[in-house]
Amino acid sequence: MSSRALSERPRLRSPGRMKYDKARKTDMLLLPERVVELNEAAGAILWLCDGRRSVEQMIGELEERYGQTGLKDDIVEFLDSAAERGWLE
Digit-coded pLDDT (tens) for 27-73: 999 999 899 999 999 999 999 999 999 999 999 999 999 999 999 99
Is 73 part of a structural domain of the chain? Answer: yes
CA distance 37 to 20: 10
Number of domains in the chain: 1
Closest CA to 61 of 53, 32, 14, 21: 53
Digit-coded pLDDT (tens) for 4-31: 789 999 999 999 999 999 999 999 999 9
Is 5 part of a structural domain of the chain? Answer: no
Where residue 72 sits, what CATH number does that domain have?
1.10.10.1150
If you count them, how many residues does the chain have?
A: 89
> Is pTM, for the whole model, over 0.85?
yes
Helix, strand or coil for residue 79? helix
Residue 43: what pLDDT?
Answer: 98
Is 32 part of a structural domain of the chain? Answer: yes
Q: Hey, what amino acid is at 77?
A: E
- C-beta separation of 48 from 62 below 8 A: yes
Assign residue 12 a region: left if phi > 0, alpha if psi is -120 to 50, beta otherwise? beta
Residue 3: what pLDDT?
Answer: 56
